[in-house]
Structure 1
Amino acid sequence: MTEQTVTARQAFTAETFAAFWAKPDLTNAAAAEPIAEDVVGYWPGEEEPVRGRRSYVDALKTLLERVPDLTLSVAETADNGEDLFIRWIAHATGAGGNRVEHTGVDRIKVRDGKVVENRIFFDRSEFERKLGRSLSL
């Protein structure tokens, strides 16, 4: 097997993002595979970035504990080979049982097929208001 084949198979793409967020599951170790060990994640409203794969996965786990039925559907993407932009629509149930939708964008930097940086953009206070709960990591 060539190096190119291995890299192509393991590369993080918009399809990888869509597949994960259609049914988020962090109990499977393979879910963290496309995340670089030294990843840096920037979440709206957090004072410091999340650094390292373990902390990044823990932040995702915390988010999914706070919003257990959260899914994201991909609305649009743009990819220049290193920077992947994904506009998504979040779907979840609010504290009162109401269905909530909210939109945002992830700018994901990919190197050697792995996510090395993710900058997440959305109106956090508005999403929290819709959900009726905090998203603090």
Structure 2
Amino acid sequence: MKYLVVLLLIISFAGMGIFGFALFDMGPENGGNCLASAIDGTECSANIIDSAGHHISAVKTFTETIVPSSDGLLLLLAFLFLIFIFSFHKNLLYPKLEFFPQRLRNLIFNSFYSKQKIISWLSLLELSPAL
């Protein structure tokens, strides 16, 4: 499981690096190094509020064009990933499910034991002659 998480992190960071390098080119044709200009083709403004709104709208446009076209593919990849996990790592989930009833019994016993301790402490407090 640890190996799988490490591999997933490495792949995601490499993907972000490749994606960032390929999409956000900082060359002279980029319109004054404004990343949002490359997406929607307009100039970046000098005003900070207009510039922030321009960049937010560019990110919104970018996510709206990428995400809806890949919903089906994303669901398919998630389904295939779950099939892979459950077929090759059979003992990944089963020991945790087996451990759950024992943990539940311990939790009930501990709550009962702590309730008994509180009741005994309150009874000592009630029967104390100093109060």
- Asked which structure has the greater CA Rg, the reply is 2
- The structure with higher relative contact order (CA 8 Å, sep 6+) is 1
TM-score under structure 1 length normalisation: 0.21
**Which structure carries more strand by proportion?**
1
**Which structure carries more helix by proportion?**
2
